[in-house]
Amino acid sequence: MQTDSEHEWWASHASLLVTDLAGNHLDLPDNVRAYMISGTPHFAEAADVMRKGVPAMSLPQNPMHAGGPMRALLTDLNAWISDGIKPPASRVPMRAHGTLVAAQGAVPMDIPGLPYAGIHTLAAFSDQSVLPPKEIGRYPVFVPKADNDGMAIAGIRQLALAVPRATYTAWNPRAQGFGPTALYPLQGAVVPFAPTEAARKEVHDPRLSIAERYADDGAYVAAVRREAARQVAERILLPEDAERVVEAAKQGKLAKLGQ
């Protein structure tokens, strides 16, 4: 069983897990499971340099972490080993599913405040028979395809992504003056939805506003509760974590919880 944050698919060429060296689709063996925790940075608790007054990231830092699904998957792994109960099917972007694509065009480019430019880490291969080694080519690297909100379609989508009030990305470009053509290491970004239809239209935001998605706070909490129950049934969320995230949604703290 292999788990990765979504950041690894942008910064550590994780697509090579499910493609051959020409970039073609590869199926995973039946005794292997792979999961991408969508919308997550590499490490959510890394120091936030923006809070220290150094605007090295272009966008606000993504607070998401993978605690919920990782606890569920660890339980699934234990059941697989101890009792032969197969875990949920792999959930990673795949070329054959149309969810693993070239970086250019992977994310909508018309979302205000989301400066998508297809930045990702390339994978070179080199001639090791000479010193220093000489680059002789590059492997094809692909990234997760995003939906109209700018978030990965494939993978395990935690409650904050499945019932969203903001766009969560696993990438965050460096700010102007800090090498803006590169990704900021290990971090993702968050871009909130507009509160109302009028507010989003004013800035030409194609993402539905919070008010257009949920009639009121009760409707939002109900949607979180339904999705939490579905994820428990699919064994990618533990019942105790489902209760915790529903309570956080009631208090308006779901994003702060990192779920």
- Domain definitions of the chain by residue range: 2-257
Q: Is the pLDDT of residue 52 over 60?
A: no
Give the pLDDT confidence of 66-113 residue by residue, as tens digits. Answer: 999 999 999 999 999 999 999 999 999 999 999 999 999 999 999 999
Q: Is the pLDDT of residue 51 over 60?
A: no
Give the pLDDT confidence of 187-237 residue by residue, as tens digits. Answer: 999 999 999 999 999 999 999 999 999 999 999 999 999 999 999 999 999
Neighbouring C-beta atoms of residue 51, cutoff 10 Å: 8
CA atoms within 13 A on the CB side of 39: 30
Give the pLDDT confidence of 12-47 residue by residue, as tens digits. Answer: 999 999 999 999 999 999 999 999 999 999 976 544
Look at the block and give the residue holding tokens 């990673």.
92
Nearest to 189 by CA among 210, 206, 174: 174
pTM above 0.85, yes or no: yes
CA atoms within 13 A on the CB side of 9: 34
